[in-house]
């Protein structure tokens, strides 16, 4: 049993390492071109791009680990099947569970490793990534001003703004719209005829001319107080030079499990007393979804391993590419279910816990069903062959 387990794991780890590397690089390249465009627009030192990629690594590894487990199991068992080693093992009395236990064991260990990354490395990396990304977006905004385009550089600060066109003679921006305090539940909207952007003491200052601001009334959030102004200055918290600062505004994705649990408790206690209960409930559902995601994604290693083993045993000759194709199909289905579950949980269609565990439940049920089918197929074949007689071969030369 120990020799067999070592042999199976020896087949598992090389494709696992290759698959983990490939999936991680693919996920990084998915964001690399967007980040490169940002750096070109901002004119920032490329070393910060390398730093951002370093901060992206934990989230990419967390997502790539379950995919690598599934593909490695399919490739390992596909190789054994294509070389008839699985058939030889069966003929020597090796049971299905003896093939299953070492692979499920390593999948479970990798689940706990992924959980540790999700709870410790990922929150710190997300916070550092958000901090550096915020500092880069605040740098040199004049290079990224685009007409009729919503500026999202200060979205984390609760500000969005845009302008329709630029006056050719004065150089002022025309028809400027600004949304402020968008994350506080009481957004303020300002609309100005013209605006100019300049730096004062190294800070960006947007000066608005001839406009109106709409602010929710303090006594009734459904009513607005309208203020007319001829000139108004708004600090955009942008700098001419890239200034590194502390980023204290943590989101659920940059919190550990303990911090997130405490944050959920605080939201639950303030729902009824909140000035905007619907907004607080939405924040609560999002936090609960993120809490359960911290457990469901790591244990996807085990769920995908559960379905990967019977699929790998079903692959016959030339099974390596077939196994890889099946693995990609299962991965796509899993992450589509994960995305759908996340949306359903945030929108209160499903409970956050069930929504985030739904992909693991679906994949796990199919894995158990396929495993039972594989075991039942072997017993059925043995029952069908029970009455077959071994043909008698007579050696005529031996007759006297």
Give the model confidence (pLDDT) of 126-160 as tens digits: 888 887 777 776 655 444 566 777 777 666 667 78
Write the CB contacts of 151 (distance below 8 Å, at least 6 apart in sequence). 141, 144, 145, 160, 161, 162
Domain assignment present for residue 187? The answer is yes
- The dihedrals phi and psi of 162, each to the nearest 5 degrees, come to -160, 165
Mean pLDDT of the chain: 80
Domain assignment present for residue 392? The answer is no
Q: Do 71 and 91 belong together in one domain?
A: yes
Using pLDDT thresholds of 50, 70 and 90, give the confidence band for residue 249: low
Q: Do 197 and 283 belong together in one domain?
A: no
341 or 97, which is more confident: 341
HEC secondary structure over 138-183? CECHHHHCCCCCCECCCHHHCCEEEEEEECCCCCCEEEEEEEECCC
Q: Do 6 and 125 belong together in one domain?
A: yes
| Range with lowest mean pLDDT among 273-282, 342-351, 356-365 | 273-282
Cβ atoms of 312 and 69 closer than 8 Å: no
According to the model, what pLDDT value does residue 187 have?
A: 82
| Range with lowest mean pLDDT among 167-176, 204-213, 217-226, 260-269 | 217-226
Q: Do 119 and 190 belong together in one domain?
A: no
User: By C-alpha distance, which of 121, 80, 128 is closest to 103?
Assistant: 80
Domain assignment present for residue 374? The answer is yes
Cβ atoms of 159 and 236 closer than 8 Å: yes
| Range with lowest mean pLDDT among 20-24, 219-223, 378-382 | 378-382
Q: Domain boundary residue among 184, 211, 238?
A: 238
Q: Do 167 and 121 belong together in one domain?
A: no
Q: Domain boundary residue among 182, 217, 238?
A: 238
Q: Do 179 and 72 belong together in one domain?
A: no
Q: Do 28 and 128 belong together in one domain?
A: yes
Q: Tokens 């070592």 identify what position?
A: 6
What CA dihedral angle connects 81, 84, 88 and 91, to 10 degrees? Answer: 80
Domain assignment present for residue 400? The answer is no
According to the model, what pLDDT value does residue 340 have?
A: 94
Task: Give the relative orientation of helices 352-384 and 277-296 as an angle to the nearest 10 degrees.
Answer: 30
Domain assignment present for residue 96? The answer is yes
Q: Do 187 and 122 belong together in one domain?
A: no
Domain assignment present for residue 248? The answer is no
Q: Tokens 């007319």 identify what position?
A: 228
| C-alpha separations of 238 from 142, 273, 277 in Å | 10, 35, 32
Q: Do 209 and 300 belong together in one domain?
A: no
Cross-strand bridge partners of residue 205: 198, 235
Domain assignment present for residue 9? The answer is yes
Residue 265 has pLDDT above 80, yes or no: yes
Q: Do 19 and 63 belong together in one domain?
A: yes
- The token pair at 114 is 């992924």
User: By C-alpha distance, which of 196, 199, 238, 230 is closest to 213?
Assistant: 230
Cβ atoms of 49 and 35 closer than 8 Å: yes
Residue 388 has pLDDT above 60, yes or no: no
Three-state DSSP at 239 gives strand
Cβ atoms of 21 and 29 closer than 8 Å: no
Q: Do 160 and 115 belong together in one domain?
A: no
Write the CB contacts of 11 (distance below 8 Å, at least 6 apart in sequence). 76, 77, 79, 80
Q: How many domains does the chain have?
A: 2
Q: Domain boundary residue among 189, 207, 238?
A: 238
Q: What is the DSSP letter of 240?
A: S
Q: Do 321 and 361 belong together in one domain?
A: yes
- What's this model's pTM, rounded to 2 decimal places? 0.69
Range of the domain at 234: 146-238
Domain assignment present for residue 141? The answer is no
């Amino acid at each position: 049993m120990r020799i067999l387990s070592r042999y199976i794991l020896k087949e598992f780890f090389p494709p696992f390492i290759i698959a983990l590397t490939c999936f991680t690089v693919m996920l990084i390249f998915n964001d690399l071109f967007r980040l490169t465009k940002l750096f070109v627009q901002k004119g920032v030192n490329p070393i910060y791009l390398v730093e951002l990629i370093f901060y992206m690594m934990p989230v990419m590894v967390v997502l790539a680990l379950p995919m690598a487990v599934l593909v490695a199991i399919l490739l390992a068992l596909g190789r054994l099947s294509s070389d008839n080693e699985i058939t030889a093992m069966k003929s020597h009395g090796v049971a299905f569970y003896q093939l299953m236990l070492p692979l499920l064991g390593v999948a479970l260990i990798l689940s706990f490793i992924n959980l540790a990354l999700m709870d410790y490395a990922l929150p710190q990396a997300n916070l550092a990534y958000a901090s550096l990304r915020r500092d880069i977006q605040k740098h040199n905004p004049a290079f990224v001003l685009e007409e009729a385009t919503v500026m999202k550089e200060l979205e984390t600060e609760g500000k969005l703004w845009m302008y329709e066109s630029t006056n050719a003679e004065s150089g002022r921006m025309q028809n400027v719209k600004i949304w402020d305090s968008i994350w506080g539940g009481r957004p303020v909207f300002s609309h100005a005829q013209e605006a100019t952007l300049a730096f004062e003491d190294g800070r960006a200052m947007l000066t608005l001319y001839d406009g109106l601001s709409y602010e929710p009334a303090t006594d009734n959030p459904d009513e607005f107080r309208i203020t007319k102004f001829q000139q108004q200055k708004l600090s955009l918290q942008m700098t001419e030079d890239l200034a590194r600062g502390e980023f204290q505004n943590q989101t659920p994705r940059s919190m550990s499990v303990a911090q997130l649990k405490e944050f959920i408790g605080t939201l639950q206690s303030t729902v009824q007393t909140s000035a905007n209960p619907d907004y607080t409930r939405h924040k609560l559902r999002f936090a609960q979804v993120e809490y359960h995601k911290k457990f469901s994604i790591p244990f996807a290693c085990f769920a995908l391993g559960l379905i990967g083993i019977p699929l790998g045993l079903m692959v016959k000759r030339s099974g390596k590419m077939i196994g890889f194709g099946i693995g990609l199909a299962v991965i796509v289905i899993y992450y589509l279910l994960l995305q759908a579950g996340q949306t359903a949980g945030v929108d209160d269609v499903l409970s956050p816990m069930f929504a985030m565990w739904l992909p693991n439940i679906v994949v796990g049920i199919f894995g158990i069903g396929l495993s039972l089918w594989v075991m039942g197929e072997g017993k059925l074949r043995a029952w069908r062959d029970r009455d077959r007689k071994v043909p008698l071969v007579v050696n005529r030369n031996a007759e006297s």
